[in-house]
Amino acid sequence: MTEPSAITNPILKARGVTKSYALGAKQIEVLKGIDLEIMPGEFVSIVGASGSGKSTLLHLLGGLDSPDSGLIEVQGRELTRMSGTRLSGFRNQSIGFVFQAYHLFPELNALENVALPARIARKSSRQAQAFARQWLERVGLSHRLDHRPYELSGGEQQRVAIARALINQPVLLLADEPTGNLDSESGSGILELLLELRDACQLTLLMATHDQAMASHTDRIVRLNDGKIAGF
Ligand SMILES: Nc1ncnc2c1ncn2[C@@H]1O[C@H](COP(=O)(O)OP(=O)(O)O)[C@@H](O)[C@H]1O
Ligand SMILES: [Mg+2]
């Protein structure tokens, strides 16, 4: 008999997730029933042509938008049933998100950008800054604490964004084309960093990319095609 404690539950589970957008009088069905499970510690990439719905799916899985139907669970908690404020709190604590275009606050320096989610989680300013300093060190930017985004290279900005996404120690990191705006050398550096962090922090990672070479470094590849997960 299997001990119940020996059964590992997925960190992320999606069942029958659909999403359409209205385009004038027409509805475009982007996601037509997505089923996906990601186990703790896995690094999974979602590949698919531009426009296939990778960003749409990641936004739904991260609770940044809601599906038309279907279920999404992160660590056994059903995002699709959470109210706005509970969902924001859960996102802040449990899900990190990294965007292709970094989305840092231009008026804040690297340290302040990274500290922000910890402040939102009601850490004291002192503690948030101490954590932010540690995370910036971890991503190789201890010499860039006072720099604003425009004073940083693209690769450095993405490292700041990764530190910001991880400061509250989420269980899940979602990365949407994290190397999409970078030259291949900085892009490889970011991928290496994500692989390192996954090992060091017991992180579960889902990365959208249209770059097959990037995807080939991850544990598992799922393909998005015609609104469905097409196979591995
Ligand atoms: N907010 C939106 N309103 C209308 N259509 C959208 C919106 N976001 C995405 N789409 C459409 O949904 C499809 C999937 O887009 P997206 O998820 O960005 O794909 P990918 O990230 O794979 O390039 C595209 O046809 C896109 O034009
Ligand atoms: Mg996209």
pLDDT averaged over 10-residue windows placed end to end, the chain, 232 residues? 67 97 92 96 95 96 95 94 91 95 97 97 96 97 96 97 97 96 94 94 94 93 94 56
One-letter amino acid identity for 216?
Answer: S
Cα of 51 from ligand 1 centre, angstroms: 6
For atom 9 of ligand 1, the residue with the nearest CA is: 56
Tally of CB atoms within 10 A around 232: 8
Q: How many Å apart are CA 61 and CA 71, to the nearest integer?
A: 10
Cβ atoms of 132 and 104 within 8 Å: the answer is: no
User: What architecture is domain 40-63+80-223?
Assistant: 3-Layer(aba) Sandwich (3.40)
User: CB within 6 Å of ligand 1 — which residues?
Assistant: 21, 28, 30, 48, 50-56
Q: Domain ranges for the chain, please list them.
A: 40-63+80-223
For atom 1 of ligand 1, the residue with the nearest CA is: 21
Return the pLDDT at 229.
94
List the shell of residues around ion ligand 2, using CB closer than 5 Å: 54-55
Cα of 55 from ligand 2 centre, angstroms: 4
**Token representation of residue 142:** 């201890």
Q: Residues 149, 155, 161, 162: what is their CA dihedral angle, to the nearest 10 degrees?
A: -160
Cα of 43 from ligand 1 centre, angstroms: 24
Return the pLDDT at 202.
85
Ligand 1 pocket test: pick from 17, 19, 27, 28 the residue with the most ligand atoms within 8 Å of its Cβ: 28
Q: How many Å apart are CA 26 and CA 117, to the nearest integer?
A: 38
For atom 2 of ligand 1, the residue with the nearest CA is: 21
**Closest among 206, 229, 218 to 97, alpha carbons compared:** 206
Return the pLDDT at 163.
98
Q: Look-up: residue for tokens 């690769």?
A: 155
DSSP letter at 218 equals S
Return the pLDDT at 8.
85
Tally of CB atoms within 10 A around 189: 18
